[in-house]
Structure 1
């Protein structure tokens, strides 16, 4: 564990808003559960070199006897970081984060991460923060660390910058179908910039036919030897053809070869078709995520 450097926030919550000096300690906690904390680790890796302000969020911490034992990344998503905590210490950490969240107000668009941590924190914030738009309590967290048993789709490749006009509508369609509203509403420029950035980083994968995306996926978070795939989508009129299986096999192969050795994702358990497709590609469940959407 690492000594907590930031002062407790006026003694009002038991938790602290941390500083750049505390990022390395928080990353040490993340390393205890690299799959469960990859969303936070990705932002904290950025903060380690460029600072928390540049990373686009806050880092909260909870310490006992001067040692950092739990943290939260708070940006567009709030990701709790409590690996290995149990019993009264875990309860005290969650109580402290809930008090800090109540004091500072909701700034994130979702709570996401390991299920028990997310749901236990939300139980403390429910009724304090505005009502959730949706709670998704059962999202299998799956990984693959070997070559997929299925042949990769040879037509799935990395998106090219000049294909943004084809890729962006597919990303918007996926997001709207999954979350329930268009990401272009309000600060749509941010979403377009995110799609463009993933293409530029060669972490956007597509199969394009006649100028239209029929399969897509993004490697949206990379940190700690883990690459998390998000945004898997097949055009509705092409579903049931096996495009997701071959497409994901191609994404996994390219990602393991060139980005990170372990590929992860999470899905809604009720999406039986998607979970079965991921299993066919070689993914296995290692935990469970939950998401609270606002």
Structure 2
């Protein structure tokens, strides 16, 4: 029988932070987003912009689920995912994305699909890639950290990448100010990297979240007319160098299964697949 929310699922708060971190740090690379969010918010709902649910067994936290703009299962078995789905069905859908390890996302989605409506897209087999060694190829030394002065050129490139990747502009529905603030925030943190040729972005990538153990890269992009030149391979080697020396020793990302050029570039740099992620987008 499916586990119900009566069997140990409740929202977590700041008093649960230590237990949550102990759970998530069982896999500090896969769970880097959850760990980063927990440390920056102390699991306080007003800072989370949502909740983190925990599932307990015999008083011990055994699984969790981040429920904000992104719903992310953490160390969740199939039984845990069904329990979180049952809780999710007690409220209307507020998340725009379900993302995380394939098995947990698949079970969660199968449990809520009839009630949550048709997603815009499902990406079921996204390789989750990791590199914890130096890059295997020479880095592009023209890749550098971006600055606020780069925003007039960088921001349109970020919009183009997001629109191509997600299928919807981040500026849709009045989201331009929020997205611009996000791009600026990553630049201010030193988490945004790009190569500029004659003032134009020809490669870019960002660190989305990081801990002392791992950093997750997102937003890797080369303009369509410059693809096939090796910019992504050498550019990612530069990003890995920056991250490993200055942010965290392990770099991770996940990529769409069908994106063969990107997967070849990451493989050339030295990334290896460790598991599959899935993403359901609304």
Q: After TM superposition, is the score higher than 0.5?
A: yes
Secondary structure of 1:36 counterpart:
coil
- Please state how far the C-alpha of 1:129 moved relative to its aligned partner: 1.1
The alignment's TM-score, normalised by the length of structure 2, stands at 0.94
Aligned to 1:65: 58
- Please state how far the C-alpha of 1:200 moved relative to its aligned partner: 0.2
Aligned to 2:48: 55
State how 1:115-194 maps to structure 2 within 5 Å.
115-186=102-173, 187-194=175-182
Equivalents in 1 of 2:72, 2:211: separation in Å? 15
- Please state how far the C-alpha of 1:13 moved relative to its aligned partner: 7.1
State how 1:99-118 maps to structure 2 within 5 Å.
99-118=86-105
Secondary structure of 1:127 counterpart:
helix
**Residues 71-113 of structure 1, C-alpha deviations (whole Å, 9 max, x = no match):** 1011111110125x4xxxx41x222211111112211110111
1:251 equivalenced with 2:239 (yes/no): yes
Secondary structure of 2:202 counterpart:
strand
Equivalents in 2 of 1:112, 1:40: separation in Å? 12
CA RMSD, aligned part only? 1.6
The alignment's TM-score, normalised by the length of structure 1, stands at 0.91
* 8 A contact 1:31–1:224 mirrored in 2: no
1:242 equivalenced with 2:235 (yes/no): no
1:95 equivalenced with 2:88 (yes/no): no
Secondary structure of 1:143 counterpart:
strand
Number of matched pairs? 278
Aligned to 1:76: 69
* 8 A contact 2:128–2:274 mirrored in 1: yes
Deviating above 4 A after TM superposition, structure 1's stretches of 4 or more consecutive aligned residues are 11-14
- Please state how far the C-alpha of 1:26 moved relative to its aligned partner: 1.4
Equivalents in 2 of 1:101, 1:223: separation in Å? 28
Aligned to 1:284: 272
- Please state how far the C-alpha of 1:188 moved relative to its aligned partner: 2.2
Pick aligned residue for 1:216 from 181, 204, 210: 204
- Please state how far the C-alpha of 1:224 moved relative to its aligned partner: 5.1
